[in-house]
Amino acid sequence: MKIPKLEMKQVCAIDQSRRGTLKSLAGLGLGALAGSFGIGNAEAASKVTMGFLYVGPRDDYGYNQAHFEGKSAIAKQSWIKAVDQENVPETIAVQKAMESMINLDGAQVIFPTSFGYFDPHILKIAPKYPEVMFLHCGGLYDAKKHPKNVGSYFGYIDEAVYISGIVAGHTSKTGKLGYIAAIPIPQVLRNINNFTMAARSVNPKITVQVVFTGGWANPVKEAESANSLIDQGVDVLTCHVDSPKVVVETAEKRGVFSCGYHADQSKLAPKGFLTGAEWNWSKIYLDYATMIAKKQKIPNLIRGGFKEGLVKSSPYGKAVSAKAKAHADKVRAQFMKGNFVVYQGPIKDNTGKEVIPKGKGYSQTDIWLESMDWLVEGVVGKTKG
């Protein structure tokens, strides 16, 4: 896949110009207000209308809540009108929902936030509405194949997962960590690999046991997986499912540690919660709104991690040692500088095959990492059922 590496620089540029933009937008808002006395719909026309679609409920303590929080944060701006719809299945229903947001609400930009919305649904609707931007969370944009009004944004949440892995590695006494994951897609595998490599950077003997539940929201299976892993001697659990609530609560009940995901779950496990990887979508949503208001061209691909403010870590829990904090903070500082390379060879997968040779490194922005289909040494699990 040949895609120019543009994302980081563009995000930085946006960041720098933001202050100026906000100032000019304040003026724009006033203008709109004045205009509304003259022409009936002037205010609505000058507002940036954004539509958000979530696959699950808005307050799931997880993935959808993170997006909803991002949407709510920008909806406070007077010059933005944000509409959203929850529980939209990854079927033709999402096409209808997108069309109604465009036709009825006048959305200028649509954020279909679930992985399965992209192909075929966005790809089918986008050509019908060339003036509307369709920005998909996590999808792989390919300039050769996909319409120009389609784009993709995603945060390198695996950076925050790496931080969780360091803390987990320091905290575990049994040397066995557990990862409850939905489906072996590249983003999930990358998180598992980051978590594992981070924990093994603390203690190379650590293993990470993976359980794939086969679905994004299956509370009974998640609880069963958590119990089985704990029975097997795992003493730090983390997960990649839509709502980590069940996993974190089960870990707390059984007296083991947990790392969160998507949103802040520290309230659910006051004793055993260590830290967690969280999204910080409000920033990128505001950046997009700003670009639309200024009629700038929207980049088709945006990626970013700690440095760009797209992800963050949950506050450390009580059980985290000073040593673990110092180690984690040090690595986060390197991520902030943008000079920490997780995938630096030699790296072997868990079948013993060398996937990245010595001397070769893939930096965070490398699109190769987004087609990951292997699990790193130290993970007990398989990518294919």
Q: Point out which residues bind another protein (CB under 8 A).
A: 56-57, 59-61, 87, 178, 209-214, 217-225, 227-232, 234, 242-243, 245-246, 249-250, 254, 268, 380-382, 385
Q: Biggest alpha carbon distance in the chain?
A: 71
CB 371 to another protein: min, Å: 21
Q: Which is nearer to another protein, 59 or 366 (CB)?
A: 59
Q: How many CA atoms lie within 13 A of 361 on its CB side?
A: 9
| CB nearer to another protein: pick between 219 and 338 | 219
- CB of residue 215 to another protein, shortest distance in Å: 8
Least gap, CB of 181 to another protein (angstroms): 10
Q: Which is nearer to another protein, 41 or 351 (CB)?
A: 351
d(CA 353, CA 375): 10
Instruction: Return the number of the residue (150 or 180) whose C-beta is nearest another protein.
Output: 180
In the complex with another protein, the residue whose CB is nearer, 58 or 348, is: 58
Closest CB 378 distance from another protein, rounded Å: 13
Q: Smallest gap, in angstroms, from Cβ of residue 242 to another protein?
A: 8
Residue 261 to residues 21, 52, 80, 195, 311, Cα–Cα distance (Å): 32, 21, 29, 12, 11
What distances in angstroms separate CA 385 from CA 183, 211, 298, 379, one per listed residue? 10, 11, 39, 15
**Amino acid present at 289:** A
Contacts of 112 (CB under 8 A, 6+ apart): 53, 94, 98, 118, 121, 122, 134, 136, 137
From the list 66, 71, 95, 96, the residue with the least C-alpha distance to 83 is: 71
